[in-house]
Amino acid sequence: MMDHEFLRRPCPLCGTNDAREEVRSAQRAEAKTLESLRPFWSGLFKEKLFFSYHRCLACGLLYNPIFFDGPQLANLYSSMAPNMDLVTSDAIAATQRGYFEAAAARAMLDGDYLEIGPDIGYIVGEAAQRGDFEHFWLFEPNRAIHDQLRRATGGRPATVLPDMDDLSAVPDGSVSLAVMVHVLDHLLDPLAALEQIRTKLRADGTLMIVTHDERSLLRRVMGVRWPPFCLQHPELYNPTTIHNLLIRAGYGEVAVNRSYNHFPIDFLARQAAWTIGLKLDRVPLPAFPIALRLGNMLTLASAPAQAAERSSSRPVAV
């Protein structure tokens, strides 16, 4: 075992150490060296390999008790190629527009906007066009896309910073909409990140989170081949565990919904064919986007003051 190289951690939701193994790859990541995992991190090998996922017996969170530590992660991410455009930008834009619409149905669009990991700014662009935000606070580690991201704000006041862990530049109580799309399940300490974001929310502020759902039909069908079981996800959520994590981080009302992804139909067909071992690379297929629920969930959480105003019900025990 080479696991002495890696971090050993308690459950990132409740802090206990009692967990049972639930999902493992044929080769376990924790039995390999950091150097030998690099090509797997970069996706160079088709073979599925990840750290074993355990279910916390106290709170039910699915997480890796052994994982990369902070410096190892920083190093791995810095060597990662920019996001590969497997899916066309039209399909990505349609998916992200849907996310913004879900947030806009509940959030006020007139305070500051905060996003962790906005990529090139699909949702930022929607927010700039359709909202009346005062200032955009954007935390994106990939400096190569900072200019593109700044352009997405359409000339609105904006601050683009590379460190996702340090939100101290954002005034407390200023944000009416905070956004994290496929970020929370990459974090070693999601509780600390959520607490930090909560202090930035206005009393009527909303946080929108998109993550995978490890209780989804797709996960049950695909089993260990479910793509979110990978080296980039130190924990994976379901509607109950993400709700409980947000309550523990001090949020008020929490609503969890399954969300749609838009995919070009040829991409889906090729992925399905690849899964069963066929190659369709030379077969022409239509490329128009279709909407599917593919095992993602969209969570909206309120700042606690708002929940207290809306109802005087007792706090939810976690």
- Phi and psi torsions of 285, nearest 5°: -135, 150
Question: Rounded distance, CA 63 to CA 4, Å?
Answer: 18
By CB under 5 A, is residue 11 in contact with Zn ion? Answer: yes
Question: Rounded distance, CA 18 to CA 270, Å?
Answer: 41
Question: Rounded distance, CA 98 to CA 48, Å?
Answer: 31
By CB under 5 A, is residue 193 in contact with Zn ion? Answer: no
> Closer to Zn ion at the Cβ: 59 or 94?
59
By CB under 5 A, is residue 308 in contact with Zn ion? Answer: no
Question: Rounded distance, CA 73 to CA 250, Å?
Answer: 27
Judged on CB neighbours under 10 Å (0-12, 13-18, 19+), 151 is middle
By CB under 5 A, is residue 298 in contact with Zn ion? Answer: no
By CB under 5 A, is residue 207 in contact with Zn ion? Answer: no
> Closer to Zn ion at the Cβ: 235 or 253?
235
Q: What angle do CA 16, 73, 124 make, to 5 degrees?
A: 100
> Closer to Zn ion at the Cβ: 58 or 269?
58
User: Among 43-51, 58-66, 90-98, 149-157, which window interacts with Zn ion (CB under 5 A)?
Assistant: 58-66
Question: Rounded distance, CA 76 to CA 116, Å?
Answer: 19
Write the single-letter amino acid at 273.
A
By CB under 5 A, is residue 14 in contact with Zn ion? Answer: yes
Question: Rounded distance, CA 160 to CA 150, Å?
Answer: 7
Q: Minimum distance from CB of 238 to Zn ion (Å)? A: 13
Q: Minimum distance from CB of 64 to Zn ion (Å)? A: 13
User: Among 3-11, 39-47, 232-240, 280-288, which window interacts with Zn ion (CB under 5 A)?
Assistant: 3-11
Number of residues near Zn ion (by CB under 5 A): 7
By CB under 5 A, is residue 59 in contact with Zn ion? Answer: yes
Q: Minimum distance from CB of 220 to Zn ion (Å)? A: 22
Residues that bind Zn ion (CB under 5 A): 11, 13-14, 56, 58-59, 61
